[in-house]
Amino acid sequence: MTKVLIVDDEPQILRALRINLRARGYDVEVVPDGTSALKAAAAYHPDLIVLDLGLPDMDGVDVIRGVRGWTETPIIVLSGRAGSEDKVEALDAGADDYVTKPFGVDELLARMRAVTRRHSSVAEVTPIVRIGQFSVDIASHSVHGTDGSEVRLTPTEWGLLSLLVRNPGKLVSQRQLLREVWGPQYQSETNYLRQYMAQLRRKLEADPARPRQLLTEPGMGYRFLSQD
Amino acid sequence: MTKVLIVDDEPQILRALRINLRARGYDVEVVPDGTSALKAAAAYHPDLIVLDLGLPDMDGVDVIRGVRGWTETPIIVLSGRAGSEDKVEALDAGADDYVTKPFGVDELLARMRAVTRRHSSVAEVTPIVRIGQFSVDIASHSVHGTDGSEVRLTPTEWGLLSLLVRNPGKLVSQRQLLREVWGPQYQSETNYLRQYMAQLRRKLEADPARPRQLLTEPGMGYRFLSQD
DNA sequence: GCCCCTCGTCAAGATCGCGTCAAGAATGCC
DNA sequence: GGCATTCTTGACGCGATCTTGACGAGGGGC
C-alpha cells in the first residue's frame, strides 16, 4: 500500500484529501505544519509527500530542502498563488511536480501516479528508454532507430536529454536545466532551452510540432514522459 | 602478462617478491616509497598493486586514496601490525585484500590470483575482436592481419586501443581515456588523443580518413564499434 | 477585447574541436 | 656513442556546433 504524507494547514483540504485518498486505497497521514512534516517524514517514511507551500511555521521550500537532505521521496507541491516564482523555487529545491489551488482531486491523483511510477522505475537502472521510434541508451551514449539507423546528438543536446530522461515524469525547472547543462551563469538564457529542445524534438519526436514525450510546462520548465 | 607494482621499503622483502613473482610469470616493478608508488602507478599502469602500509615518506592509506582517485586497480595491503584498526582503515580507503607480515609467498600468490580474477572477470569476455581485416587479441597483446602479417602497436597505442575495445559500443570520454592511458594529470591534453587515434586508424582501419569502427564523438570522446 | 509574456522557429555569425602534418625531445637497443 | 623508435608539442584549415538576434503565434491576466 502506498503511504502518503499530506502537509497542509487548511482543515477542509486535509479532510477532502484524506477521504478521497483513503477511498483510492492510499495509506494517508496528515500533519498541519513544517516542523511536524519533517518529523513525520523521518518517522513514517512515506512513499510520497504532498506539501502545501503556505505553512504557518516555516517556508515550504525549506521543508523540501529538509526532506531532500536525506531522501529522494517524491514531493508534489500545492500552491495557492498562481505566480510562478515560488513554484520554480520549489522545483529547484527538489520538488517533483506542482499543482495550483484550487485543484481537482483527479488532477492531483494523476500527478501522484505519474510521480510514484517514476520513482519506482528509477530503482531499476533504466539504461534504455524509448522516445517515439528511437531507443536512447544512457549507458553507452547512443540513440538508435527501430530500423537500426543511428541518430547523432551533439554534446549539448545529449546533456539536456540525459538530464530529462534521468528524471522521467518529473518537471525539471528551466533554471536547473540551464545550470546543469550550461553552467550556473547561464540561468536566465531561456532561449538556449527553446533552441535545443526544438532540436531534440526534431531528431526524436514523430511530430516535432506536437511533442508527446518532450513536453513544455509553460513558465516552469520541461518534462520527459516515458511511454508505457 | 600481469603487471604487478610492489611498494615496500624493506630490501629483502622486495628481493624475495621480485624473484618469486618473476618466476611465476608476473611482470614486476618495485618502488621503495609512497611518492614513487603514485608516480609508478600512473606511469606503469599495473594490473595489481602490492602495498606495504609502513612506508618512510607517507601513510600507506593515503597512497591507497591517491591511487583510488583515478583507477580501480586492485590493491593488496601488507602490514606488520596484526591489529585490525589499520586494516579496516585500509579496506575502507579502497584496498581489496590484506596480508599480515610475516606471510608465506604462497598465501600472497593465492590472494593475488583471487583479486585479479575478481577484477578481470568483469571485462575479460572479449579476448579477440576484429577491426577491418585485422584481429586484435587483447589477452596476448598482438594484432594480426588475415594474411598472417603482424601489426606492431606501441605501448601507448595499445593502452588506448585496449581501453576502447574493452568497452565495445560504449562511448568512452576523453577524460577517461587520458586518465587511464596517460595518467590523471593529462586530463586536458586532448591533442594526445587526436594524435594516437589517428595512428591507430592508420594502422587498423581500411580507410583511415573514414573510420568505421574507431569512431569520434565530437566534443565527448571515442567509441569502438564491433563489426556485426 | 487588448496587451504582455513566453514559446517555437528561422537564420545568421562566432567559436570550438577535430584531423593532419611536422619537428624536436626522450627513450631504449645495439 | 649512435641509431631507431616512440612520445611530446605546436600550428593550421575546415566543418560542425554553439551563440545570438529577431519575428510571429498562442495563452493568460487585466
**B15 or A96, which is more confident:** A96
Cβ partners under 8 Å of residue B33, min gap 6: B7, B9, B55, B56, B57, B58
Q: What is the mean pLDDT of residues A145-170?
A: 90
Among the listed residues B209, B211, B213, B210, the one whose alpha carbon sits nearest the alpha carbon of residue B225: B213
pLDDT of res. B18 = 78
Asked whether strand C has any atom less than 7 Å from the CB of A191, the reply is: yes
pLDDT tens by residue, A20-55: 999 998 999 999 999 999 999 888 889 999 999 888
Alpha helices in B94-208 (DSSP H): 105-120, 155-165, 174-181, 190-204
B181: which 3 cell numbers? 592511458
CATH 3.40.50.2300, chain B: domain bounds: 3-122
| pLDDT exceeds cutoff 80 at A82 | no
**What's the pTM?**
0.70
User: Contact A154/B217, CB-based, under 8 Å?
Assistant: no
Nearest protein residue to D17's C1' (by CA)? A154
Residues belonging to chain A with any Cβ–Cβ distance to chain B shorter than 8 Å? 139-142, 154-155, 158
Give the rounded percent of residues in chain A with a pLDDT score beyond 90.
43
Q: Scanning every residue of chain B, which has its alpha carbon at the shortest distance from the alpha carbon of A159? A: B220
pLDDT of res. A123 = 46
CATH 1.10.10.10, chain A: domain bounds: 125-224
Asked whether strand D has any atom less than 7 Å from the CB of B154, the reply is: yes
- Top residue of B166, B167, B171, B222 to mutate, by most chain A CBs within 10 Å, is B171
Q: Which residues of A touch B171 (CB under 8 A)?
A: 140-142
pLDDT of res. A119 = 67
Give the rounded percent of residues in chain A with a pLDDT score beyond 70.
94
For B132 and D16, how far is CA from C1' in angstroms?
27
| pLDDT exceeds cutoff 50 at B221 | yes
Query: C-alpha angle A213/A218/A223, rounded to 5°?
Result: 30
| pLDDT exceeds cutoff 70 at B3 | yes
pLDDT tens by residue, B46-96: 888 999 888 888 888 888 888 887 777 888 888 876 666 777 778 878 888
User: Contact B169/A140, CB-based, under 8 Å?
Assistant: yes
Q: Considering the domain B125-224, what is its CATH architecture?
A: Orthogonal Bundle (1.10)
Q: Given pLDDT bands bounded at 50, 70 and 90, which one contains residue B166?
A: confident
User: Contact A142/B219, CB-based, under 8 Å?
Assistant: no
Q: Which of A139, A154, A155 sits opposite B170 (nearest CB)?
A: A139
User: A180: part of which helix (H) or strand (E)?
Assistant: helix A174-181
User: Contact A142/B218, CB-based, under 8 Å?
Assistant: no
User: Contact A140/B220, CB-based, under 8 Å?
Assistant: no
Q: Considering the domain A3-122, what is its CATH architecture?
A: 3-Layer(aba) Sandwich (3.40)
pLDDT tens by residue, B180-212: 888 778 888 999 999 999 999 999 998 988 999
| pLDDT exceeds cutoff 50 at B123 | no
